[in-house]
Amino acid sequence: MQINLPPGTSLTSNIGGNASTTLNDGSHHLVSAGSAPSPSVGAAIGSGGSPSATIAAGGNDNGGKLTVVAGSSPGAAGVVSQVTFNIAGAAAPKAVMLTDGAAANSADAIHLYVSATAAGSFTISNQTALTASHTYVVYYDVQW
């Protein structure tokens, strides 16, 4: 199916709930909108201090920026965060891609991977222990 948009127009599809998708004529970009998913603080983030996991403004079920602050006593490698979708899908996503917000050779690089997916969530884990009270950033992109 091909849709041709006249200059200066866009096509928006309201998916339901708090989600929508927009295609703009000139940019050829598919733009998603909606409420942010809810990240949890996993065991690898640890305890003590102020451990946290937050999605930045503008993030939604299709993509965004997750910021994790390790506790003063981080756990060993394991679950960093389970991200629960604002609106669950009919099935698990086809793929969830992660991009570490740090340079590959930086001390901030924590070797993240998606350890589980489900219709309502995905889980991010790490291969190496986090540094106490340190802030980490990961970008996620969900393909349904």
Domains and CATH numbers, the chain: 1-34 (no CATH), 38-143 (2.60.40)
pLDDT of residue 106: 73
What's the rounded Cα separation, in Å, for the pair 41 and 50? 11
Q: What is the pTM of this model?
A: 0.83
- Taking only the tens of pLDDT, the chain with its 144 residues reads 566 666 666 666 555 555 555 655 566 666 777 899 999 999 999 999 999 999 999 999 999 999 999 999 998 899 999 999 999 999 999 999 999 888 766 766 778 899 999 999 999 999 888 999 999 999 999 998
Q: Please report the pLDDT score of residue 11 as a whole number.
A: 60
Which class for 96: exposed (0-12), middle (13-18), buried (19 or more C-beta within 10 A)?
buried
pLDDT at 29: 62
| Tokens matching residue 2 | 């091909």
Among the listed residues 63, 64, 51, 65, the one whose alpha carbon sits nearest the alpha carbon of residue 130? 51
